A and B are shown apart, each in its own frame.
Chain A
């Protein structure tokens, strides 16, 4: 058990609905990453926080996607007006201060958009 938790583990929604996912990092891990993974591909970087500051956003992150980490602890990823192409596994990973950039992944949230 890596200690990173994600909720929900599975989400089925209809096209056009909004969804929000949560990631709880390992305690005191200051860096938090969101990725999207589809079948047969590696995780694709979406965005990255250092404490509460969102430092990087991928061009993959359209204006329908927004992420927050208000107190530098848990983070949320919201997708507005979901599309079928948003169906994927959404992974969260965290890294501690002074680490060698080792990322610890949560179990992911599997999103299915009907």
Chain B
């Protein structure tokens, strides 16, 4: 089983739709959690951190469920510009530090 798993998609949705992505992780000792966005042939960029209490940034809402070991990302009122790959990142214990482990990413395509 991979440490961090994501459905690769693609998720193909119309503008204005609400779409949700999930990401599961295997190490219960994982410490911090993030969603990154990666555009085609570009580097990943932080979208938002994920907190236990859940957090919202405009149209984006992130949730963490430690008991079930998954994080989620909800995008409301999708825009064409939201089309990208969304990577979940989990910081898990390594040899002596916490190591960032990325999922393979979920592709989102928003069409007119």
Contacts and interface: CB of A to CB of B under 8 A. Distances in A.
A62 interface: no
B94 A56 contact: yes
A55 interface: yes
A51 to B, nearest CB: 13
Given A41-B104, A42-B103, A43-B102, A56 B49 contact: no
The winner among B43, B100, B103, B104 for most chain A CB atoms within 10 A is B43
B43 A42 contact: no
Contacts of B46: 102-104
Q: DSSP class of B's interface residues: helix, strand, loop or mixed?
A: strand
B99 interface: yes
Contacts of A106: 43
A102 B8 CA distance: 23
A111 to B, nearest CB: 14
A45 B101 contact: yes
Nearest to B43: A105
Question: Which bucket holds chain B's interface residue count?
Answer: 20 to 34
Nearest to B91: A101
Interface string A36-51: 0000111111001010
B102 A44 contact: yes
Interface residues of A, number: 24
A100 B102 contact: no
A106 B44 CA distance: 9
The winner among B4, B98, B102 for most chain A CB atoms within 10 A is B102
B112 interface: no
Contact of A103 (B4, B97, B100): B100
Interface string B69-87: 0000000000000000001
B101 A100 contact: no
A33 interface: yes
14 contacts: A40-B8, A42-B102, A42-B104, A45-B100, A48-B97, A48-B99, A55-B96, A56-B94, A91-B43, A101-B100, A102-B49, A104-B46, A105-B45, A107-B42
The 8 closest A-B pairs by CB, nearest first: A42-B102, A105-B43, A42-B104, A43-B102, A56-B94, A41-B104, A42-B87, A42-B105
